[in-house]
Amino acid sequence: MSQWIGTANQTYAPYAMEELRRLIEGVAFTQLAAGEVFLMTSPQSREETLQAILQQEPIFLRHVQPVDRTIEITGNANDLEQLSDMVRNAVLTFENKRVAVHIRRASKSEFVYSAADTKAVLDAVLDEIGAETVVQQPEVIIAIYAAVNQLFIGFGAPSDMLSDWPGGAVRFQREEGQVSRAKFKLLEAEREFGLNYAGYQNALDVGAAPGGWTSLLLERGLRVTAVDPAELHPSLMAYPTLTYLKRNASEVKFNASSFDLLVCDMSWSPMLMCKLVLDLEPALAKGATAIITVKLMHRKPLQTIRDVISRLSTEFSLQKAKQLFHNREEITLYLIKK
């Protein structure tokens, strides 16, 4: 048996739990933060459960942490003492390793210490036992979730938690003059799917306005054809590598194999989006990448996703489908043209 803390985007935890039920027979759940964080009890071992999750990663499970220790919250300094002792007792897990401490808390938790104060105390203990405390690229993460009256603590590699960010909440710094927050979505997709946009040459951005995704691709040195009847941000017009077609995407045609990357973040119904992407597919070179968001407009998102993937699978191979932290009522698909 093993226990885990699972996290999904707000309101989407029920779908993450449904996916986990299909993967692991006999799992049970307890809600910790409504629609977002839950405790999962698996009848399988930690290794078997993790293998099942990683082999067919759930779309709506943003982050998962094992529960290796549970501490009853007292609401005073005894909580930090117990956490410190726990780290000291696991010296062999952390010694000579790059270690990050991640702390999250439920809104009504009785744990009185801030994440910063808790991290400062545990970082001092880690230094004392010969670990290197880091924020980025850790080898081991100490993940702590402060529920109402319990601390759930787990140790593991970033890959075992699906993310190296606390709770999978990937944060990017907003830049001066940034065209739109949608840029964060494409940045997160690059990290999540192990891509490097600078390795592509010619991109087609469908439904580009106001130009958040176009701006990122231009900054990475790509030639970008942006299609949208609405206006692009004026700052993008300075790029000689931009071709802007102020038209509906359904009205444009391109030469065969013109692009090695297609991106699409349109607020269209899923089936209309599929038709549009499939109509534009001849313009993509064989092996081209497509990054597409699927808007979840209906009450059956899992069925919608299955229908979209089935429709697109005639011309594309799905590499991964994920609800990213920066997705809202949508998911992101990573596809390769067959």
Q: What's the rounded Cα separation, in Å, for the pair 257 and 285?
A: 4
- Are 120 and 160 within 8 A, CB to CB? no
65 φ/ψ sector (left φ>0, alpha ψ -120 to 50, else beta) = beta
**Of the candidates 313, 299, 304, which has an alpha carbon nearest to the alpha carbon of residue 331?**
304
- Are 80 and 73 within 8 A, CB to CB? no
Q: What's the rounded Cα separation, in Å, for the pair 229 and 236?
A: 16
**Of the candidates 107, 105, 132, which has an alpha carbon nearest to the alpha carbon of residue 117?**
105
What's the burial of 286, exposed, middle or buried (CB within 10 Å: 0-12/13-18/19+)? exposed
**How many CA within 13 A on the CB side of residue 5?**
30
- Are 167 and 7 within 8 A, CB to CB? yes
What's the burial of 265, exposed, middle or buried (CB within 10 Å: 0-12/13-18/19+)? buried
Q: What's the rounded Cα separation, in Å, for the pair 224 and 263?
A: 10
Q: What's the rounded Cα separation, in Å, for the pair 171 and 185?
A: 10
Active-site hit among 119, 295, 322, 337? 295
Q: Is 295 a catalytic residue?
A: yes
**How many CA within 13 A on the CB side of residue 165?**
12
Helix, strand and coil content of the chain, in percent to the nearest 5, comes to 35, 30, 40
Catalytic positions: 295
